Structures are given as C-alpha cells and as structure tokens.
C-alpha cells in the first residue's frame, strides 16, 4: 500500500459512508486509523446482510485497514480514553450533526486546547451553518439541493446515481482537504477545522450547469443538453439482446469513425444538428438495436471511437482490462474489494488488512508513544 501518510494518526468517529470512506482513503495512503464506535457499534455493521463473522460486507468495504475501538463518549472513562487518542492524533473525522461534539464535551475550544495541531474534519449533510444545518438527510436529499439531479435521467424524471454520489464525493473531498491541511500544518504547526458538506461537494461540480442556466437556450431542464440525452453522439443505446452500449463521441473524428463502422456515413455531417436531436437519436437507436452486444463489440473493438458496453456487476471483475489493472481483490467469503484507485511507483495496490477491533486500553497504549 502507499506510504504517503505513514506516521499520520487519524481518529474516525463517523458512521455509514462519507466519513468512513474519507478515513479509508487516508488508511489506504498509509495513515494509522482508529475508528471509534459507540458501545453498540456503527449501525452499518448490520446493514442489509451479515457474514459469518457477524459483520455486513458493506461495513467491511469502507472500514478495511482500520482498527476499531468501542468507546462510550457519554461516560467519564470513554471521554478520558478519547482525550488520550485526541492528544496523539493528527486528524479527526466525524459526522455528527452540528452541536453533538459540543454536547459530548469536545467543542472546538476544547479540541484546540487538547491538541492545537489537530486537523478536525466535520462532515455533515448541509454544513455547520445555515437554516438546514440540523435537518435530517441522506445522499438523495443532498443531491437534490446541490444540483446533482437537475439534469440527470430522462425527460420524464430525474434518476439517482449509483453509488450514492454525495456520500462518496464528500469522502473524497474530505480526504483531500485533510491532506492539504496536514501540509499546511507542516509549514506552520497550525491545525484546521474543516466544515465539509455533502450537499456542497455536489454543488461544487455544478459551475457549468449553473452558468448555462443564465444563458438563454443553453440549459433546458432535461434530455436536450449535449451530455444528458440531447446529442445522438453521446448516449446510451439498447442492443438486440437487451443489453446497452454507451457512446461518448463528442470529437468529430470519433463520431465519424463510428458512423463509417456502422455503415452510416450519412450521419457524419449531422453530428451538430440542433438539440434535442430526436430524429438522429432514433435512427442510431434503431441501428444499434439490429445487433447484439457481442456483435457490436466485434465490430467496434478495433475502431478508434468512444464506445463501451454497460457491464453488470458480475461481469466487471472478469473483464480483461479490470483484470490487467489489478485493483479488485476477491476473498473466500465472496467479498470483492475495490482497492485504492491508483498505481503508485509502478505497483498496483494490494488488498487492505481486515478491519480489526481492539480494547480501549490497547488503543490508548498503542498511541501513547510517538508514531
């Protein structure tokens, strides 16, 4: 695994996906991550289904490489152990609603007194301020307000992304911000307080759409923009056997190469017809529907064009390119793990250590000495 963050200690007090995924990335980069859970554990331990070890495979997917300790942060003993960990920590990731850390006795002033160099990242749905700060939420709600559903789906209705985009986006953004804060701390010795909103991580992607909405004719609601159904050269089409092909032929040469391969060179000059290109899209759909997915792959694999078949989950691990990139690891319990998504210094990332649980005393003793 990468050693970028070797010697960095991270406390993860979050649950479900955004915070745990942020801490997972830090662990993947070499950080020592202790996940602090309440006495009953993270509710995700039992999400949907459990394996023979009593843990949900979805819990293990975002907590590999971490050490888990259960602390009752409402008790004196739990607070005391947590304070020892905070003293030795470089970063804290938490996902409580605004005000919860204060009520537990670890408000900002207290955290700064315990550890002035601590990088504290608080991930919430809506942020620490504003009228929605205490409002309940999950990914879909954050996507709705942040513009993530404004142009998704079809002309009839928005369609939610999978996996939950704001969950993972906020985890990625949090990990990046924590790394940036740690670099600043290396220069100044000063810690940081990062107010990370799931909604705003999606909002941050919307500059293009928001700008287009100010220009007449550029941003109709749905299915008439360049990359959401309006252009025939960029879309998803059903094949003769009920599978799907994606085309991303925005460049004229890629579109032309596809048209020639499909036996329809007459489509080449029509690429930039006014959108929505309902007529051209219908023609392409009819042509795609004449061949099976295997026939299209045989036809297009050697063509310099932006196409890819839509794979089902059970097909992904055995795809030749996925196999060659070595980022998926399979385990005896039928779990499939997606590793840190980058090769480092010419090497693919290996599998993560399994999530491990230790006692509060062991956690305190482990962090009592310098990293």
Residues that are catalytic: 167
- What letter would DSSP give residue 246? E
Determine which helix (DSSP H) or strand (DSSP E) holds 338, and give its type and residue range.
strand 336-338
Torsions phi, psi of 157, nearest 5? -165, 155
> CA torsion, points 125, 127, 129, 130, in degrees to nearest 10?
-50
Whether the Cβ atoms of residue 255 and residue 268 lie closer than 8 Å to each other: yes
Instruction: In whole angstroms, give the CA distance from residue 227 to residue 158.
Output: 14
* Rounded Cα gap, residues 111 and 194, in angstroms: 13
- 128: nearest Cα among 93, 90, 167, 95: 95
Measured between alpha carbons, how far is 83 from 104 in angstroms, rounded to an integer? 12
196: β partners: 123
Which distant-in-sequence residues (6+ apart) come within 8 Å of 59 by Cβ? 42, 44, 45, 46, 47, 355
Dist. CA 222–CA 150, nearest whole Å: 8
Answer yes or no: are the C-beta atoms of 31 and 8 closer than 8 Å: yes
What gap in Å lies between CA 170 and CA 124, rounded to an integer?
A: 9
Distance, in Å, from the CA atom of 149 to the CA atom of 300, rounded to the nearest integer, reads 32
């Amino acid at each position: 695994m990468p050693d970028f963050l070797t010697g960095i200690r991270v406390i993860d007090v979050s649950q479900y996906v955004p915070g745990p995924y942020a801490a997972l990335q830090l662990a993947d980069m070499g950080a020592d991550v202790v996940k602090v859970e309440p006495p009953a554990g993270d509710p995700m331990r039992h999400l949907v289904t459990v394996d023979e070890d009593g843990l949900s495979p979805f819990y293990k997917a975002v907590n590999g490489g971490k050490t888990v300790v259960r602390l009752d942060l409402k008790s004196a003993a739990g607070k005391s152990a947590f304070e020892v960990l905070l003293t030795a920590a470089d970063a804290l990731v938490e996902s409580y609603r605004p005000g919860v850390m204060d009520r537990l006795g670890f408000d900002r002033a207290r955290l700064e007194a315990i550890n002035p160099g601590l990088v504290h990242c608080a991930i919430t749905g809506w942020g620490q301020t504003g009228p929605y700060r205490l409002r309940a939420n999950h990914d879909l709600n954050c996507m709705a307000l942040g513009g993530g559903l404004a142009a998704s789906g079809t002309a009839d209705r928005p369609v939610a992304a999978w996996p939950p985009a704001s969950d993972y986006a906020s985890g990625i953004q949090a990990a990046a911000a924590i790394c940036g804060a740690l670099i600043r701390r290396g220069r100044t010795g000063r810690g940081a307080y990062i107010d990370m909103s799931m909604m705003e991580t999606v909002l941050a992607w919307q500059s293009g759409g928001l700008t287009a909405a100010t220009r007449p004719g550029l941003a109709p609601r749905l299915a008439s923009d360049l990359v959401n159904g309006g252009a025939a050269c960029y879309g998803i089409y059903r094949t003769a056997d009920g599978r799907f092909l994606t085309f991303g032929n925005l460049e004229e040469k890629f579109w032309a190469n596809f048209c020639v391969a499909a036996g329809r060179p007459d489509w080449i000059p029509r690429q930039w017809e006014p959108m929505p290109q309902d007529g051209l899209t219908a023609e392409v759909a009819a042509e795609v529907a004449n061949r099976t997915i295997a026939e299209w792959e045989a036809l297009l694999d050697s063509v310099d064009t932006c196409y890819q078949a839509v794979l089902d989950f059970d097909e992904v691990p055995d795809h030749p390119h996925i196999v060659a990139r070595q980022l998926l690891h399979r385990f005896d319990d039928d779990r499939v793990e997606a590793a840190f998504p980058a090769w480092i210094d010419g090497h693919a990332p290996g599998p993560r250590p399994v999530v491990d649980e230790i006692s509060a005393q062991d956690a305190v003793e482990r962090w009592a000495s310098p990293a």
